[in-house]
Structure 1
């Protein structure tokens, strides 16, 4: 039911938001040019949060300008609290959880997140109601067409109907928006951080990305279009290779719908299984010298014949990630914007990153980089 909301033309509408937020990010990074190494993780995450807020809810929260906003703090606190609860069995029972400080903090943060979402949904529902009432009005129609590019995921949810023609209930809509707010910013931010690190650590690969960007954009500082993204094939391969080495979701669970055999071992139907994509992506048969960063692995000719499930950064099959095209588009648009302006360096070694598989795969010690300006024409 929700898949049509990720249709190509709708994603194209979202690209303008991604361009705007990527340009703000570049402005924020400017102060670090030719300076000491700095941790880029918060900058990338706040940019991704701004993108998902505006595309999912149609609300600009300005996280990049105000990292201390109540909503931004609640989003981050909830991520920490959920992770703490997952690994602490004594916090699992719902009856006991509010007795602990973490439980009380959890419900305070949840209240902030839900009240924000509630207000946005109420505003958006009222807006759609007003548009319906004035549909015959020419002024209203021209205003609608002028704001067409600002359609948000929430607009489509409010109009979505199930197989029986019933509209989604209020709680259904809130759950979907909350899911997209969480899943849609932290995962893409993680993918971009790892890709930045890998390109910074492999200057030859970064040079190939720069050459490709120069071929597509020349000296222009115009915004990125969908046609541009199609031409950035090497950048696309670099992102895929970064997701192979550091998948944003390093493991995910499934329940077997039928009995199967793995290397002679029988796994009964109904068994809960964990797929560890972090380990799977290091299979030396599918990916020779698996620890090496080689975007060329994903050139069409090199990927031919590879098992389709050897590489599953967005899961696979009917339960795969509904937002993967959105995520790839955002990662390409933001990384392309950064790399049009800067050359990135890093002296961090791979064993200094300490990746931690929490809700997502994070660099525990941050991603420390240095920036050099590429050319005055892009600044």
Structure 2
């Protein structure tokens, strides 16, 4: 009887395990059935496409573009990263349901690899935390505050022009790192109120850490075997990752502590003097302007639940989002203008009509008259969107092109391909800034052009980025003529976190007479 009892218990346990397994696996099987109905390249049953993905950045980008071309008529395709289903879309009609909805605001799983650096700030957070942060931070990008940042844009652009004058003899040189250093100095000063002097010291450890960490993140995102922290942290790349974080977080924390101490001292002095606290944030210490960090410190003074860690998250996020993206965009604009003499001539004429021969700073009022410059920036971002792919997690079942996309699927928007839809951009490979004149943009689908994303999670800093790039380009092309010397195929585009040329942009620069 005892043996029979044990056998019955064993059988019951086996039945329970089988039933439990079926309960767990059923939704996974349904997901597999639905996703497998979508077009896409063949995959391995266990690893999906993980081992098929090219490791080298340019080869990876070209591979994704080939798959896009293979499925251009359907407008989307699917791949698997291990057991993680991914749908990649590049038609305005299938992009709209992803970006427009308030139901799909959770960022893709791939953004979790940014958490060690950025925490869960505005870029990576979701739900109520994201909604609270978005509402809190929106005023920090108010027009008045951006107008104050114009001083920084102009000052750093003038340093860049001085550096370019030494190169403006008609010989070939790589402009990529000069532009990148200028943007890094701008973002450090506007975000933290501190200069790293990148334009004079590209060997600065903070500069090198930013560049290295971006490279490490790109490699990890497409390699599922590097996803588990207990594996990654023991590898040489994981140790480099940790060292970069030590440098980046170390500087951010030091600056926060310094600015925080200065603010507390200033507020204590005001209180001792019986001064009434101003509702408007004022310059702290000896600095002549407020930085993004100072605005956050004022917020913390009003609401202590907004912690120092919260401030660090948002400062690091501003640094991450505002550096590589704008640097890449400015470089691509140099290349496109250097490759299109007629467009460059028209820009020169516009700049001359606004500034004459003066060296005065660019103002926000000038932007009203720099309409062609804005078209140049927008057309460059169409051809070379700084973020070539961004993703969401489907928080609910999603319908794309009449197909049911199950909850939990990673939905990616391929902006590089989206912006080349012939229905909305005839001759899509042609650089034609005039297509962004108001009269030529009237009937365009609102989700056919999304360089700063769109919908509720659009980029909060897009006006900052546009102002910054226009100031930099205005300073350069008031002084110089540029000639690009590379063929497009020689640029070998890296299209992962940020779209950029693998070896920079080679140009010839001459002074305008």
The TM-score normalised by the length of structure 1 is: 0.93
Pair 364,154 (structure 1): closer, same or farther in 2 beyond 3 Å: same
Q: For residue 331 of structure 1, what is the aligned residue in structure 2?
A: 469
Mapped contact 2:329–2:380 kept (Cα < 8 A): yes
Q: Structure 2: where are the runs of 5+ without partners?
A: 1-135
* Residue 132 (structure 2) aligns with: none
Shift of 1:91: 2.3
Instruction: Tell me what 2:171 maps to.
Output: 36
The question of 1:272 aligning with 2:410 is answered yes
Cα distance in 2 for partners of 1:216, 1:5 equals 29
Please say which of residues 327-336 and 252-261 is displaced more in the overlay. 252-261
Alignment match, 1:156: 295
Question: What residue number does 1:309 align with?
Answer: 447
2:491 pairs, out of 348, 353, 360, with 353
* Larger CA deviation: 6-15 vs 82-91: 82-91
* Equivalent residue, structure 2, for 1:116: 251
Where does residue 341 of structure 1 map in the other structure?
479
Residues 285-341 of structure 1 deviation map (CA, whole Å, 9 limit, x = unaligned): 011111100000100000001111110000000111111000000000001101111
State the 1:165 CA deviation: 4.7
How far did residue 146 of structure 1 move? Answer: 10
3-state SS in 1 of match to 2:411: strand
Cα distance in 1, alignment partners of residues 319 and 305 from structure 2: 21
Residues of 1 paired with 2:350 and 2:308: CA distance? 46
Written as runs of structure 1 = structure 2, the 5 A alignment for 1:69-218 is: 69-135=204-270, 144=283, 150-160=289-299, 165-218=303-356
Structure 2 counterpart of 1:68 = 203
Q: Residue 171 of structure 2 aligns to a residue in which SS? A: coil
Range with bigger deviation, 32-41 or 110-119: 32-41
Q: Which residue of 1 aligns with 2:142?
A: 7
On the 8 A contact 2:389/2:497 being kept in 1, the answer is no
Residues 144-203 of structure 1: per-residue CA shift (max 9 Å, x gap): 4997851100011112269x9554111111111111112111000000011110010001
Verify the 8 A CA contact 1:256 1:269 in the aligned structure 2.
yes
> Partner of 1:359: helix, strand, or coil?
coil
Distance apart, 1:258 and its partner CA: 4.4
Question: What pairs up with 1:230-245 in 2 under 5 angstroms?
Answer: 230-245=368-383
Q: Give the unaligned 5+ runs of structure 1.
A: none
Query: 1:135 offset after TM fit, Å?
Result: 2.4
Is the 1:22–1:334 contact (alpha carbons within 8 Å) kept by the matching residues of 2?
yes
By how many angstroms is 1:260 displaced? 3.9
Task: Please say if residues 229 and 333 of structure 1, whose CA atoms lie closer than 8 Å, have aligned partners that are also in contact.
Answer: no
Partner residue, 1:49: 184
Q: Secondary structure at the match of 2:169?
A: coil
Whether the aligned pair in 2 keeps the contact of 1:18 and 1:333 (CA below 8 Å) is: yes
The answer on whether the counterparts of 1:159 and 1:167 sit within 8 Å (CA) in structure 2 is: no
Name the CA distance, whole Å, in 2 between partners of 1:166 and 1:240.
Answer: 40
For residues 8-58 of structure 1, give each alpha carbon's deviation from its aligned partner in whole angstroms, at most 9, with x where no partner exists.
000001000010100001111111112321111100111000000000000
Quick one: distance in 2 between partners of 1:216 and 1:149? 28
Matched-pair contact (CA < 8 Å) for 1:45–1:186? yes
Distance 2:315 2:260 in 1: 14
Paired with 1:257 and 1:307, the residues of 2 have a C-alpha distance of 25
Question: 1:249 deviation in Å?
Answer: 0.2
Contact in 1 for aligned 2:328/2:500 (Cα 8 Å): yes
TM-score (norm 2): 0.70
Partner Cα separation in structure 2 for residue 272 and residue 103 of structure 1? 25
2:434 paired residue number:
296
Q: Does 1:374 align with 2:508?
A: no
C-alpha distance 148-112 of structure 1, shift in aligned 2 (>3 A): closer
Match status 1:247 vs 2:382: no
Question: For the Cα contact (< 8 Å) 1:158–1:167, is it kept in 2?
Answer: no
Aligned residue for 2:500, secondary structure, equals strand
Per the TM alignment, residue 82 of structure 1 is displaced from its structure 2 partner at its CA by 1.4
